Amino acid sequence: MRIDVLTLFPEMFTSPLSGSILGRAQDRGIVEVCLTNIRDYATDDYRKVDDKPYGGGPGMVMMPGPVFDCFEHVCAQSSQTPRVLVLTPQGRPLTQACVRELSREDRLVLLAGRYEGFDERIRQGLGAEQLSIGDYILSGGELAAMVLIDAVIRLLPGALGHADSPRDESFEDGLLEYPQYTRPEVFRDMHVPEVLLSGDHAKIATWRREQARERTRRWRPDLLREEQ
């Protein structure tokens, strides 16, 4: 997979992308993440990429020119037609189902902009889908793009050490994850549930399913309602 990110702050991505799973996935050639600074496509001496909104109001709006030039240049770097995504609080909520779907693409282009906004013609002209990582406002789309990149890359075949890891996780079957324990068997008077020490795999699987349902009912009942 190739992921292009168009941003005014490419340096924000360096550390998260070099972390263990994401760094290893890139080293193994499972994914290539290419960062492009939109400011490199500014056309004036001041490298201006935003301007005051027509009609007045606070904040600055990203100008269409540099974004379109940047996008067209990046698209031309590969023959594959990308899925184009804009990170914005106005977008469709990013869910694990959505992440799974994106992980099957060969190429993604992510546009991360300042929150005050993009000129509306950017969304229209690029034919981009809008995605939101939650109902709150970040100061820019960069952190949202990183969240998306992390969630997608870890689903790519070979990205995680253990091939089965993503299967049992929260949301993979619409439920939260069952509780996990490791050594010691007793810690500060808190015991590992007996069933996990039994060696009875069928019983353990049943217990885990029940636990997953129970904690979903208690902590995220909305997930069960969505399931019906």
- Minimum CB separation of residue 205 from ligand ADE in Å reads 36
- Minimum CB separation of residue 105 from ligand ADE in Å reads 19
Residue 6 interacts with ligand ADE (CB under 6 A)? no
- Minimum CB separation of residue 94 from ligand ADE in Å reads 8
- Minimum CB separation of residue 148 from ligand ADE in Å reads 9
Residue 174 interacts with ligand ADE (CB under 6 A)? no
Farthest-apart Cα atoms in the chain, separation: 71
Residue 152 interacts with ligand ADE (CB under 6 A)? no
DSSP state of 31: -
**Looking at beta carbons only, is 88 or 216 nearer to ligand ADE?**
88
- Minimum CB separation of residue 96 from ligand ADE in Å reads 16
Q: 140: closest CA among 189, 202, 88?
A: 88
Residue 122 interacts with ligand ADE (CB under 6 A)? no
- Minimum CB separation of residue 75 from ligand ADE in Å reads 21
- Minimum CB separation of residue 204 from ligand ADE in Å reads 38
CB 13 within 8 A of CB 33: yes
Q: Report the C-alpha dihedral over residues 217, 135, 148, 101, rounded to 10 degrees.
A: 60
Give the x-and-dash track for 123-142 against ligand ADE (CB under 6 A). Answer: ---------xxx-xxx--x-
Residue 103 interacts with ligand ADE (CB under 6 A)? no
Beta-strand relationship, 61-62 and 50-51: antiparallel
How far is it, in rounded angstroms, from Cα 121 to Cα 76? 21
Interface residues for ligand ADE in 154-173 (CB under 6 A)? none
**Looking at beta carbons only, is 1 or 144 nearer to ligand ADE?**
144
What is the token pair recorded at 126?
């690029």
Q: Of the candidates 36, 37, 88, 103, which one interacts with ligand ADE according to CB under 6 A?
A: 88
Residue 144 interacts with ligand ADE (CB under 6 A)? yes
Q: Which residues contact 148 (CB under 8 A, 6 or more apart)?
A: 85, 87, 94, 99, 102, 110, 131, 133
Segment holding 86, helix H or strand E: strand 83-93
DSSP state of 52: P
Amino acid letter, residue 83: R
Residue 117 interacts with ligand ADE (CB under 6 A)? no
Q: Report the C-alpha dihedral over residues 88, 93, 96, 97, rounded to 10 degrees.
A: -120
* Contacts to ligand ADE by CB under 6 A: 87-89, 115, 132-134, 136-138, 141, 144
